[in-house]
Structure 1
């Protein structure tokens, strides 16, 4: 095995690891976005379920329900910037994953080229058609 082929194999191994790390980071970022969106949906659902009970109620109960509704709305609206930030971070991580995948594929192609070149060289040696450089001897 030639040194070039061994080097290409090392590069491919590193690129695979880099892609795996980038894919993990992208999945984590996407999971964070999903988690935040789920939290927002839960807050919206809780807010929608807040309705006064049928029958007589006290003013204090209505005031408490109104306060709770206001707090739920505030929390849900407060999640919007966090969700947008998480989405942009997930987009960046996905772009990094794609770049790592592209680098991995390039390294694999170069490894295949080096492998074919090493095979061809081995075949030439076996056939005896390997040309050696003529030694130039000084006078």
Structure 2
């Protein structure tokens, strides 16, 4: 596309040239226009609030409000940490109690398994004796 424009401009002759219509801004011009708009906004604000005493009072109120908000935020953080520490202590106690209970239950389980084995062996002995007694009765 740009080749076509160049060929068109060259065919017109040496007296005509293609001119770029987009404005060029240097970074200095951009900074100045930005500063001018910022400055004009500041001036508009200053015109809106004319009394410097009012500005100082507003700033002091804003800082006091911010300080109070920061204090409340720190207090909430401290309370949250205390709550979490309390929860950790409670869960640690509960964990210890559960471990103790688990140990007791494991000991009880082992004891019951041993009793069960004793009873199983007793059942086998009694079944064998019953079979032998039954065989004797049949032979007699």
Place the TM-score, normalised by the shorter chain, in its bin.
0.3 to 0.5
Q: Give the TM-score, by structure 2 length.
A: 0.46
Q: Give the TM-score, by structure 1 length.
A: 0.46
Q: Structure with the greater relative contact order (CA < 8 A, sep ≥ 6): 1 or 2?
A: 1
Q: From the CA coordinates, give the structure whose radius of gyration is larger.
A: 2
